[in-house]
Structure 1
Amino acid sequence: MWARGPPEPRRRCWLRALRRRLPVLGWLPRYSPGWLQLDLIAGVTVGLTVVPQALAYAEVAGLPPQYGLYSSFVGCFVYCFLGTAKDVTLGPTAIMSLLVSSYAFHDPAYAVLLTFLAGCIQLAMGLLHLGFLLDFISCPVIKGFTSAASITISFNQVKNILGLHGIPRQFFLQVYEMLRRIGETRPGDAILGLACLATLAGLRAMKSRLPPAARTEPLATRASYLIVWTCATARNALVVLFAGLVAYCFQLRGSQPLTLTGSIPRGLPPCRLPPFSKAVPNGTVPFGTMVEDMGVGLAVVPLMGLVETVAIAKAFASQNDYRIDPNQELLAMGFANVLGSFFSSYPVTGSFGRTAVNAQTGVCTPAGGLVTGALVLLSLAYLTSLFYYIPKAALAAVIISAVVPMFDAGIFRTLWRVKRLDLVPLCVTFLFCFWEVQYGIVAGVLVSGVLLLYSIARPPLKVSGQGTLLVQPGSSLHFPAIEHLRDVICSRALSAPSPCSIILDCHRISSIDYTVVAGLAELLQELRKHGISLAFCGLQVRGGHAQPQPSRHRAGPACQGKGLHRWAQPSPHQGEPSGRPSQQGHRSHLPCKARMRPPLGSTFSSRRWRLQHPSPAAGRGAGAKAAAPAQAHAALGCPESSEPLAEGNPPALGSPAAVSLPSGPGSPSLAGCGPGRIPTFPQLGGGR
């Protein structure tokens, strides 16, 4: 019988995998009463912020107010067990609410189904480790989207501050209708909304300028600091509470000049499956039709949710000196949305504002989310009757105050200084989002992709030299770039007054594909017809920089090269090789025409090249160090001077032509140069 191995290593691996999938197991054994106190304070503070924001963001999403609260507690509970960032809080946000309004058509059934499908996509991405797909949404696209969203969301709430009804959803129609109906403004809503905006702006400015109180300060000073800081942090809740009291007072007097939120169903949402069909007066909308109606939203919503959450988590992890696991964040987001869809939630993501509040209150673990979620549940159970008196103008002021800082005016100036081409996807996304949000995101991603593909198809090429052309690609070569490389080399080489030699500097080429290898083979044959030689310099062999290796000698002066790592290099006993560029700027010479056997086949690695090499005994003796450059050239099989080649008359293979390297600090050295041989696929990093 086979002896069974010890089970301890297997158990250890299983526990390690479990801790990786359940991060709560990493910090729960070390939980302390001090952490509990700070988590309670942070959870209550964030809860006072999320309740009014949830009611307001439901308005942005085009859903009844209770759906904002339904979306605010499941994510808090799930992230406590699966999240890797202690500061992040999940819930409804302005960006996600705007996307839901575009793809859910103001219908709760579509919104809940979108939550379920988006969560499934996020779960699949996390399990398949597809987090790298988020990297294809560039920073200019995100900045253009968030800046445009801040404007569109703000204008969408102006109608509530003015007390106007029946305003269309499209941005340009909104602006037109509000300007046309400005005379219908309700004074009560306008005065209250502007007062709430001014109060929120003042409290925000007060908090940013509030100096921290030291422990050595008197008790009264520290108490006053705590009061001011609490009021500034919970400013949304205070403003909504004050506005609700004003509306309630008007209601008691029998007159109501304000537009109120209205009644909200009391109690917790029922736990049930997401709606996979929708009943309509004429029949039923099947699942396939609902998915078709949401269209590209099934890709935009999960991706934008992940981008927002991972970006926030990385920012606060860097600020507070801890690390996150992006793939685990994908799983946490996916589980939060899938489970949230069973409680009538619309898609949630990380909130930057609430995460900042969480971090500033000193949260220690994700357990603070449990307190926040509990407060939301208490609000649904006992406070929904009080939400009736909250004016819509106050909620609009909360939204505008939250989204205005999202507009980044400095990004335009920054991109103008750094790279002006990045302004193209930024402006395309920014402008298209005013038409429709989904068009703006898709257009921005497409433009960014086109610019990325263009940079691959047209890599930077530096061509220098006169008698000898030195071609230096600035990046790796892929199949879209080979035609451009051939055109540049052929146009420069064939336009020269006499046939020249070409050196392809491969120092910066770390990857190559088969199409490029085939194109280089065709280029070599085309250049040979015109008597032009081609050499490769600085090749990287299987990911490492190739080093010169000595050639093995057979009987006779010629040796057989086994690959591009057999470099043309004089014997070390011949003194300083003439192929190295001198510091005085003299021109140096490198033999770049090789003896070639007839090809053994179409495979590049099967070809054998014969390179004329000096005898091992050449240059030995007491006077070897004083050998003249002419002797070194003779040992290399090159003529003493570099004679131009006659057009249409290539030299014989037995008489290699001398090639002059361009002088200067940017010229490559002789080490790492191989003449007249196409690199094989793995030698240039292919297949990686």
Structure 2
Amino acid sequence: DTCLHEQHLCGRRLMRRQSARRCCSYNTLKAWLPILSWLPKYNLKWLKMDVLAGLTVGLTTVPQALAYAEVAGLPVQFGLYSAFMGGFIYTFLGTSKDVTLGPTAIMSLLCSSVVGGEPHRAVLLSLLCGLIQAVMALLRLGFLLDFISFPVIKGFTCAAAVTIGFGQVKNILGIQGVPQQFFLEVYYTFHKIPEARIGDVVLGLICLALLVTLMFMKSSLTSDSDSTCSIILYITFLLPPPTSDTTANGTVVSFGEIVEDFGGGLAVIPFMGLLESIAIAKAFASQNDYRIDANQELLAIGVTNIMGSFVSAYPVTGSFGRTAVNSQTGVCTPAGGVVTSVIVLLSLAFLMPAFYYIPKASLAAVIICAVAPMVDYRVVAKMWRIRKLDLLPFFVTFLMSFWEVQYGIVGGIAVSGALLLYSMARPHIEVTDHGVLVMELSSGLTFPATEYLSHIIHTRALQVSPPRSVVLDCSHVSVIDYTVISELRDLLRQFKLREVHLIFAGLQPSILKVLLAADLEGLRHNHSMDEFAATATDQVKSPLNLLNFTLEIVNLLSLHCPLHKNFGAQV
């Protein structure tokens, strides 16, 4: 016994040492720091392409960051504060060569609805979102994003684009005193049209025309379109600088009160940030033939938001537009983000006085052109053609987002979840009559479907006269739970009382193992119809039952085996 105990301890120590070696191995380090996978192979050609892509994306990032800060209700410099940390962090932790992290229209809109234009709340929100995202990555909870369906995403992005775009109309018109709530914003924008400033209108329309023209030109020029508009405005000085209203009453608010004010936004914003960035990463990984690690992407976004909070950033995520520019320019590694971040830092260091002269009308034009492609009206026709029921979560999300963005997302997820649960509770059961009733189950059997399955069996087999035998075709069933087992036990008892049979066919090994472990009385099962035909006669006692059951077998063979069809007809 002493020798065995010592051997056991030695074995445990050896396993611990092996586990420690795996945790501290170079492969494990590469999994946490993806830069180690591509940095040893870095070459001059990659450097040239990364610098070119970084410069191009940087020219797009600066004006967009300023514009998105306006959407978030923050001073424009906070857009730049939020735009440079992602390039540095993602270079070390990211698994996609194309993704660029920074301010986006959707995240800016979400932040606006939560922080109320107060910079200190936006910075705190970035820290909390980053912590939530990093913890999710460490706990490998990326799969939770799979429960947000495509119609919900599309409904939200379309509503966000409409909300953001219309919210800039007041800046194009140069009117003030318009509320932020969407429906009130629509009313007061039209109500105050007589107060529009001619200079703002002319400048805004010129910028819109310039941006739309550049959007229809070569793709190589589109990346510079936002920058071109801002540069022209800076040179011409057509309008005076915009004014900003700030409130500072000196009231001290505790940390708990701020977090409480965030409400549901503290759950929605981290999830939407992860969803947007990972969806972009997956799309470009598929397009450019490489794979990403979803949980590692979560970690990269989380660390970016945590570190960004120390430089006055608000929450960021992956940008589809800038990622597309990055990919089209030919970026080779995430190092292109470093060049983009340097461009942003240089802008902060040397161009801040120039930003003072950028009118709100020009930023509004940039924002409208940036969010316009997000209104994908063609997706409605596609859903109508493919599956009309998916339009329900789409429109619920779309319409509720005009009330509150968070409510739209939560409402869409709730409707999608209800549809998913309904499909689980009402699985498709195909019933055919061939002497016995054959019920083919199309999916797994879990507790929501228990009552429905029992109702079908009772109404079609047990409550008719005379009662019918039933064969459950379980070839498509891959999961079963205790509630279903309890119901099957009761069904087998009911079949026995009526002297008919309930037979399970096509059971997968895992399902058969569960049924055998449940020790169901009267359980009959088979792997094939031939096996069932060979053993069924031994299970029938009376001559009458033998005759009836033989006819049932022949009918089943006629159904499942074409070679027996002539024999069935003769009988």
TM-score by length of 2: 0.89
Question: Following TM superposition, by how much is the alpha carbon of 1:594 offset from its aligned partner in structure 2, in angstroms?
Answer: 3.5
Question: Following TM superposition, by how much is the alpha carbon of 1:519 offset from its aligned partner in structure 2, in angstroms?
Answer: 0.4
**Could you tell me which amino acid in structure 1 is paired with residue 281 of structure 2?**
A
1:615-654 to structure 2, matched below 5 A, reads 642-643=547-548
Question: Following TM superposition, by how much is the alpha carbon of 1:529 offset from its aligned partner in structure 2, in angstroms?
Answer: 2.2
Residues 436 and 657 (structure 1 numbering): CA distance in 2 closer, same or farther, change over 3 Å? same
1:152 corresponds to: 163
Q: 3-state DSSP class of the match of 2:311?
A: coil
The Cα offsets for residues 193-236 of structure 1, whole Å up to 9 and x where unpaired, read as 1111111111111125xxxxxxxxxxxxxxxxxxxx3x432110
**Could you tell me which amino acid in structure 2 is paired with residue 659 of structure 1?**
E
- The number of residue pairs the alignment matches comes to 546
Corresponding residue to 2:387 among 412, 415, 419: 419
Corresponding residue to 1:306 among 274, 278, 282: 274
Q: 3-state DSSP class of the match of 1:364?
A: coil
In structure 1, the gaps of 5 or more residues are 209-228, 251-257, 265-277, 547-560, 571-576, 581-589, 596-611, 613-636, 644-655, 671-688
2:475 corresponds to: 507
Question: Following TM superposition, by how much is the alpha carbon of 1:494 offset from its aligned partner in structure 2, in angstroms?
Answer: 3.5
In structure 2, the gaps of 5 or more residues are 1-5, 515-520, 564-571
Residues 29 and 172 (structure 1 numbering): CA distance in 2 closer, same or farther, change over 3 Å? same
**Could you tell me which amino acid in structure 2 is paired with residue 483 of structure 1?**
E
2:567 corresponds to: none
Q: Does 1:123 align with 2:131?
A: no
The Cα offsets for residues 626-674 of structure 1, whole Å up to 9 and x where unpaired, read as xxxxxxxxxxx9669744xxxxxxxxxxxx776356569864799xxxx
Q: In structure 2, how many angstroms separate the alpha carbons of the residues matched to 1:281 and 1:234?
A: 42
Q: 3-state DSSP class of the match of 1:389?
A: coil
Q: In structure 2, how many angstroms separate the alpha carbons of the residues matched to 1:115 and 1:175?
A: 30
Q: Does 1:525 align with 2:493?
A: yes
2:517 corresponds to: none
Higher relative contact order, chain-length normalized (CA < 8 Å, sep 6+):
2
1:487 corresponds to: 455
Q: In structure 1, how many angstroms separate the alpha carbons of the residues matched to 2:374 and 2:455?
A: 47
Question: Following TM superposition, by how much is the alpha carbon of 1:31 offset from its aligned partner in structure 2, in angstroms?
Answer: 1.0
Residues 592 and 39 (structure 1 numbering): CA distance in 2 closer, same or farther, change over 3 Å? farther
Q: Does 1:192 align with 2:173?
A: no
Q: In structure 2, how many angstroms separate the alpha carbons of the residues matched to 1:348 and 1:317?
A: 20
Q: In structure 1, how many angstroms separate the alpha carbons of the residues matched to 2:430 and 2:18?
A: 60
Q: 3-state DSSP class of the match of 1:510?
A: coil
Q: 3-state DSSP class of the match of 1:166?
A: coil
Q: Does 1:45 align with 2:56?
A: yes
Q: In structure 2, how many angstroms separate the alpha carbons of the residues matched to 1:30 and 1:45?
A: 24
2:241 corresponds to: 260
Corresponding residue to 1:281 among 250, 255, 258: 250
Does the CA-based 8 Å contact 1:500-1:532 persist in structure 2? yes
Question: Following TM superposition, by how much is the alpha carbon of 1:61 offset from its aligned partner in structure 2, in angstroms?
Answer: 0.3
Residues 664 and 167 (structure 1 numbering): CA distance in 2 closer, same or farther, change over 3 Å? farther
**Could you tell me which amino acid in structure 2 is paired with residue 241 of structure 1?**
I
**Could you tell me which amino acid in structure 1 is paired with residue 536 of structure 2?**
P
Residues 15 and 517 (structure 1 numbering): CA distance in 2 closer, same or farther, change over 3 Å? same
The Cα offsets for residues 19-45 of structure 1, whole Å up to 9 and x where unpaired, read as 010011111111111111111111111
**Could you tell me which amino acid in structure 1 is paired with residue 465 of structure 2?**
P
Question: Following TM superposition, by how much is the alpha carbon of 1:11 offset from its aligned partner in structure 2, in angstroms?
Answer: 7.0
Q: In structure 2, how many angstroms separate the alpha carbons of the residues matched to 1:507 and 1:661?
A: 20
Question: Following TM superposition, by how much is the alpha carbon of 1:332 offset from its aligned partner in structure 2, in angstroms?
Answer: 0.3
1:624 corresponds to: none
Q: 3-state DSSP class of the match of 1:591?
A: helix
1:454 corresponds to: 422
Q: In structure 2, how many angstroms separate the alpha carbons of the residues matched to 1:641 and 1:352?
A: 69
Question: Following TM superposition, by how much is the alpha carbon of 1:7 offset from its aligned partner in structure 2, in angstroms?
Answer: 8.7
Residues 117 and 12 (structure 1 numbering): CA distance in 2 closer, same or farther, change over 3 Å? closer
Question: Following TM superposition, by how much is the alpha carbon of 1:262 offset from its aligned partner in structure 2, in angstroms?
Answer: 6.0
1:384-423 to structure 2, matched below 5 A, reads 384-423=352-391
Q: Does 1:591 align with 2:536?
A: yes
Does the CA-based 8 Å contact 1:80-1:370 persist in structure 2? yes
Q: In structure 2, how many angstroms separate the alpha carbons of the residues matched to 1:455 and 1:668?
A: 31
**Could you tell me which amino acid in structure 2 is paired with residue 189 of structure 1?**
D
1:634 corresponds to: none
Residues 663 and 198 (structure 1 numbering): CA distance in 2 closer, same or farther, change over 3 Å? farther
Q: 3-state DSSP class of the match of 2:440?
A: strand
Q: In structure 1, how many angstroms separate the alpha carbons of the residues matched to 2:537 and 2:286?
A: 52
Moved more, 185-194 or 341-350: 185-194
Question: Following TM superposition, by how much is the alpha carbon of 1:319 offset from its aligned partner in structure 2, in angstroms?
Answer: 1.0
Q: In structure 1, how many angstroms separate the alpha carbons of the residues matched to 2:205 and 2:559?
A: 64
2:286 corresponds to: 318
1:350 corresponds to: 318
Question: Following TM superposition, by how much is the alpha carbon of 1:18 offset from its aligned partner in structure 2, in angstroms?
Answer: 0.4
Q: In structure 2, how many angstroms separate the alpha carbons of the residues matched to 1:119 and 1:592?
A: 67
Corresponding residue to 1:232 among 222, 230, 240: 222
Question: Following TM superposition, by how much is the alpha carbon of 1:592 offset from its aligned partner in structure 2, in angstroms?
Answer: 7.9
Residues 94 and 638 (structure 1 numbering): CA distance in 2 closer, same or farther, change over 3 Å? farther
2:335 corresponds to: 367
Does the CA-based 8 Å contact 2:425-2:452 persist in structure 1? yes
Does the CA-based 8 Å contact 2:444-2:477 persist in structure 1? yes
Does the CA-based 8 Å contact 1:456-1:478 persist in structure 2? yes
Does the CA-based 8 Å contact 1:430-1:440 persist in structure 2? yes
> More helix by proportion, 1 or 2?
2
The Cα offsets for residues 54-104 of structure 1, whole Å up to 9 and x where unpaired, read as 111011001111111100011111001100001110000000000000111
Does the CA-based 8 Å contact 2:107-2:317 persist in structure 1? yes
Q: In structure 1, how many angstroms separate the alpha carbons of the residues matched to 2:554 and 2:341?
A: 71
Q: 3-state DSSP class of the match of 1:346?
A: coil
Q: In structure 1, how many angstroms separate the alpha carbons of the residues matched to 2:148 and 2:562?
A: 41
Does the CA-based 8 Å contact 1:42-1:358 persist in structure 2? yes
1:136 corresponds to: 147
1:246 corresponds to: 236
Residues 34 and 578 (structure 1 numbering): CA distance in 2 closer, same or farther, change over 3 Å? closer
Residues 56 and 495 (structure 1 numbering): CA distance in 2 closer, same or farther, change over 3 Å? same
Does the CA-based 8 Å contact 1:477-1:513 persist in structure 2? yes
1:457-468 to structure 2, matched below 5 A, reads 457-465=425-433, 467-468=435-436
Question: Following TM superposition, by how much is the alpha carbon of 1:497 offset from its aligned partner in structure 2, in angstroms?
Answer: 3.5
Q: In structure 2, how many angstroms separate the alpha carbons of the residues matched to 1:102 and 1:112?
A: 14
1:381 corresponds to: 349
Q: In structure 1, how many angstroms separate the alpha carbons of the residues matched to 2:347 and 2:492?
A: 76
Q: Which has the larger radius of gyration?
A: 1
TM-score by length of 1: 0.74
Identity %: 53
Residues 544 and 364 (structure 1 numbering): CA distance in 2 closer, same or farther, change over 3 Å? farther
Residues 592 and 44 (structure 1 numbering): CA distance in 2 closer, same or farther, change over 3 Å? farther
1:585 corresponds to: none
